[in-house]
Amino acid sequence: MSQELFKITGKIALVTGSTHGLGKAMAMGLGKAGAIIIVNGNSSQDKIDIAVAEYKKEGILAYGYKFNVADEKEVIEAIKKIETEIGNIDILVNNAGIIKRTPLVDMEVKDFKQVVDIDLVSPFIVSKHVVRGMMNRKEGKIINICSMMSELGRNSVGAYAAAKGGLVMLTKNMATEWARFNIQINGIGPGYFAISQTEPIRGDGHPFNDFIINRTPAKKWGDPEDLAGAAIFLASKASNFVNGHILYVDGGILATIGKPSNEE
């Protein structure tokens, strides 16, 4: 019975921004749990093709689609194509995002708007056009990838934090409107994870590595598989009565104010 709760075999999962990083880690987890993965990116078809090959190497059934999640016309066309060629989307993970590390006083308005468009508006666009099918079928899972910056401030990431904070409330309002159709809409707020993008700053003695280890009660960077587990939970029957919730996978960072560097 317990294994059946987490079974997602044959479910079609669209994971935006899944050619690399945490999006790829979550998509890999869903795929290894049996889901069919729709890989999305917008940089180049070659990058998507390489990612699809990497999924297939792990025994995952995967297909790649290049489209801009912030362009409604492209999103509509891509969803129609996916549903025609592969099937109905059962699971949507709104992961695609960008960050621009610029102090607010120096940030151009166009750059602020770009971050908000991709990190906040695009989950609305993609969800709006995927959820119609879920509503008709009376079943579906939507997972919005939030952030610890949905709750905390940090120098130079004001636009990102504003967008991710807004994504929390968008998630709650999606649940408010769509839960009655047996659709579960939740969020994941990742902490700091040991992935290729963070490798240069994870060495012993690196100031940021020391900061994260000191700030995290678990005393380590997250393992991508930990994030995959959260995604599987929110994508499966195990979360059928969980709605409008943000699951922070952060090793306990948000649970504490931290401690002085000289304190054991």
Instruction: List the catalytic residue out of 65, 160, 192, 248.
Output: 160
The single residue listed with the structure tokens 């919730």 is 245
* 3-state SS assignment for residue 146: coil
CA distances from residue 140 to 11, 33, 131, 196, 263 in whole angstroms, order as listed: 10, 17, 8, 31, 47
Distance CA 233, CA 245 (A): 12
Q: In terms of Cα–Cα distance, which of 22, 262, 256, 25 is closest to 152?
A: 256
| CA diameter of the chain | 59
Strand stretches in the chain, DSSP E: 12-15, 36-41, 62-66, 91-94, 140-145, 183-190, 246-249
The single residue listed with the structure tokens 């636009």 is 159
Answer whether 156's CB lies under 8 Å from 102's CB. yes
- R_g of the chain, CA atoms, integer Å: 18
CA distances from residue 244 to 95, 123, 204, 241 in whole angstroms, order as listed: 17, 15, 38, 10
Whether 160 is a known active-site residue: answer yes
Q: In terms of Cα–Cα distance, which of 114, 126, 219, 124 is closest to 159?
A: 114
As annotated, the active-site residues are: 160
